[in-house]
């Protein structure tokens, strides 16, 4: 809680009038900017900006062994690093809980929506499959890194190419793209709804995030919710949860339209 109590009171007062400090409506996202191919060694990469919040997401692919319970499927691994570079509050050292949470929640959003057609990433059943790594780096934290990361993951996967694989020599020919990453027709986007003094908002700035009492991340597309996580200690009423879901559903389509336009 770095923003003082005074600020908290002021934020709540404004919300009571349906206003936010930066002039947005409670259910309005900041301006979304996506820049493609910011790191060309990656199979797909994007820089995502939500206002002053910025993340870079890259997709890398490697050949590995499948898990026993999914012998004919590729693997997915999502990792987030919240860099000390991106905020004075992030300390050096082992990943804090926030980084783990961003990675895991984004992972579930992609995995559970079946965005990636993992069966098409099987090279030899039980022996060789593609592993898709989605790696997220924070560059500037001004709140809502999680949604920015989720949008970035979707965008990076959408533009990612599978490199050629030389089966005889077991060598990946990076840079020689073979095909688009096989994706299903879903577009999961996480939308985190925050509760501040009984009001629900999306896409908080850092000062709003500081006074947020609880939040729930709802990932999905169109009519289907594919992942959810409530975080922080305060509770939500059933009505609030229902409303949060409606807010998220309203945003998925809007955000995806923007993503589609930007990539």
Partner 1 sequence: MAEGYVRKDGRKNDELRSPIKADVGVVPNADGSAMFQIGKTIAIAAVYGPKKMHPQHSQDPEKGTLRCTYNMNSFSVEDRIRPGPSRRSTEISKITEWALNPVVMLEKYPNEVVDVHINIIQADAGTRCAGINAAAMALADAGIPMKELVSSISVGKMDKTLVLDLDKFEDSEFEDGEGSTDIPITFTHSGEITHIQLDGKISSEQLKEVVEMAKGACDKIYEIQKEALKKSLMAGEGEK
Residues binding partner 1 (CB under 8 A): 38-43, 45, 52, 56, 58-60, 62, 79, 81, 83-88, 92, 95, 133, 135, 137, 139-142, 174-175
Q: Which helix (H) or strand (E) holds 27?
A: none
- What is the closest distance, in whole angstroms, from the C-beta atom of residue 30 to partner 1 in the complex? 13
- What is the closest distance, in whole angstroms, from the C-beta atom of residue 60 to partner 1 in the complex? 4
Spatial distance between the Cα atoms of 123 and 15, rounded to a whole number of angstroms: 53
Nearer to partner 1, 145 or 191 (CB): 145
User: How many Å is the Cα radius of gyration of the chain?
Assistant: 19
Nearer to partner 1, 71 or 83 (CB): 83
Nearer to partner 1, 56 or 191 (CB): 56
DSSP character string of 163-212: EEEETTTTEEEEEEEEEE--B-S---EEEEEEEETTEEEES--HHHHHH-
- The three-state DSSP-derived secondary structure of 73-101 is CCEEEEEEECCHHHCCCCCCCCCCHHHHH
Nearer to partner 1, 62 or 245 (CB): 62
Tell me how crowded residue 212 is: count the other CB atoms within 10 A of its CB: 22
- What is the closest distance, in whole angstroms, from the C-beta atom of residue 37 to partner 1 in the complex? 10
Nearer to partner 1, 158 or 195 (CB): 158
- What is the closest distance, in whole angstroms, from the C-beta atom of residue 81 to partner 1 in the complex? 5
- What is the closest distance, in whole angstroms, from the C-beta atom of residue 149 to partner 1 in the complex? 14
């Amino acid at each position: 809680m770095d923003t003082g109590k005074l600020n908290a009171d002021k934020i709540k007062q404004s919300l009571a009038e349906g206003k936010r400090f930066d002039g947005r409506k409670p259910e309005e996202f900041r301006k979304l900017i996506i820049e493609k191919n910011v790191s060309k060694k990656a199979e797909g990469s994007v820089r995502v900006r939500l206002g002053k919040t910025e993340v870079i997401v890259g997709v890398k692919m490697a050949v590995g062994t499948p898990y026993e319970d999914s012998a004919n499927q590729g693997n997915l691994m999502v990792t987030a690093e919240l860099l000390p570079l991106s905020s004075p509050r992030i300390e050096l050292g082992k990943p804090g809980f926030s980084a783990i949470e961003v990675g895991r929640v984004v992972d579930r959003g992609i995995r559970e929506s079946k965005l990636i057609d993992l069966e098409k990433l099987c090279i030899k059943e039980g022996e060789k499959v593609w592993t898709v790594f989605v790696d997220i780096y924070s560059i500037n934290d001004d709140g809502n890194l999680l949604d920015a990361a989720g949008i970035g993951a979707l965008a990076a996967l959408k533009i990612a190419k599978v490199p050629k694989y030389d089966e005889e020599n077991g060598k990946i020919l990076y840079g020689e793209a073979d095909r688009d990453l096989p994706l299903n027709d879903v577009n999961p986007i996480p939308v985190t709804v925050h509760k501040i003094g009984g009001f629900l908002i999306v896409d908080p700035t850092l000062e709003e995030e500081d006074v947020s009492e609880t939040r729930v991340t709802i990932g999905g597309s169109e009519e289907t919710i594919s992942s959810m996580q409530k975080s922080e200690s305060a509770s939500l009423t059933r009505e609030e949860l229902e409303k949060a879901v409606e807010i998220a559903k309203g945003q998925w389509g809007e955000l995806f339209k923007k993503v589609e336009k930007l990539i």
